[in-house]
């Protein structure tokens, strides 16, 4: 994939965020990697979506984080993206937003329970909330430490980040993952909707418990399992 091709892909993925009501102003960012070329492309920092162009997307070395192509500063969350890609090789795209419903759950420092089949179609279990960063982590390599606390959450809890392609960073907001940038954007929208549904579900029934394991298995596996049959072939 050429630099111009990956920049176009990442540009289009970023432009989908305001269309899906996941961001306002300059909030949020999308990235994608090309592991053959060992590069990452990401939105530049602080650029309004109305002003963003494909040529503004910044291309960096996946290992060092050095800018390879681009005249603008990359997203302030770049080091978080880099750390996640470096630790989860199956990830191809990452999205970070400050969408209302997902941020509400992140600020509540709560896992998002799998209450129904809408959740189960994308997330194979509860979406985890991380622990809060310490003062030392906040004041030293904050963005990289955000990536570290995400990796810690998945590894310590034995969660596959591609089976549960999202996380709620406590006090901050959601990050979602996918096989590419477009996939990660779709998961970001699903996560926000599931957070909204869960909030309304708990209002309707404060004693609700999570979906039965068999129903969770059925809905996730029919879309993502080895014998998946959802959709067209």
Q: CB 72: neighbour CB atoms within 10 A?
A: 16
- Per the annotation, the verdict on 142 as an active-site residue is no
Enumerate the domain spans of the chain. Answer: 3-224
Is pTM beyond 0.85? Reply is yes
Report the residue count for the chain.
Answer: 233
pLDDT per residue, tens digit, the chain (233 aa), is 899 999 999 999 999 999 999 999 999 999 999 999 999 999 999 999 999 999 999 999 999 999 999 999 999 999 999 999 999 999 999 999 999 999 999 999 999 999 999 999 999 999 999 999 999 999 999 999 999 999 999 999 999 999 999 999 999 999 999 999 999 999 999 999 999 999 999 999 999 999 999 999 999 999 999 999 999 97
- Per the annotation, the verdict on 121 as an active-site residue is yes
Write the CB contacts of 87 (distance below 8 Å, at least 6 apart in sequence). Answer: 147, 151
Domain 3-224 has CATH 2.60.120.10: no
Catalytic choice (3, 121, 142, 217): 121
Write the CB contacts of 213 (distance below 8 Å, at least 6 apart in sequence). Answer: none
Tokens 């129904």 -> residue: 116
Hey, what are 21's tokens? 């009501």
């Amino acid at each position: 994939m050429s630099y111009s091709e990956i920049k176009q892909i990442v540009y289009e993925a970023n432009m989908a965020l305001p269309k899906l009501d996941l961001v306002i102003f300059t909030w949020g960012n999308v990235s994608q990697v090309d592991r053959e070329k060992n590069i990452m492309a990401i939105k530049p920092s602080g650029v309004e979506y109305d002003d963003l162009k494909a040529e503004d997307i910044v291309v960096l070395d996946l290992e060092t984080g050095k800018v390879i192509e681009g005249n603008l500063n990359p997203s302030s969350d770049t080091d978080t993206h880099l750390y996640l890609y470096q630790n989860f090789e199956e990830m191809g795209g990452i999205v970070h937003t400050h969408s209302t419903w997902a941020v509400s759950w992140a600020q509540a420092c709560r896992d998002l329970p799998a209450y129904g089949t809408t959740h189960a179609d994308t997330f194979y279990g509860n979406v985890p909330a991380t622990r809060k960063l310490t003062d030392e982590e906040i004041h030293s390599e904050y963005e990289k430490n955000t990536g570290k606390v995400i990796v810690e959450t998945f590894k310590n809890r034995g969660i596959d980040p591609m089976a549960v392609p999202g996380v709620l960073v406590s006090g901050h907001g959601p990050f979602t993952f996918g096989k590419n940038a477009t996939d990660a954007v779709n998961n970001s929208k699903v996560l926000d909707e599931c957070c909204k549904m869960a909030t309304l579900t708990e209002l309707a029934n404060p004693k609700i418990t999570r979906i039965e394991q068999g129903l969770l298995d059925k809905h996730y596996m029919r879309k993502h399992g080895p014998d998946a049959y959802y959709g067209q072939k």
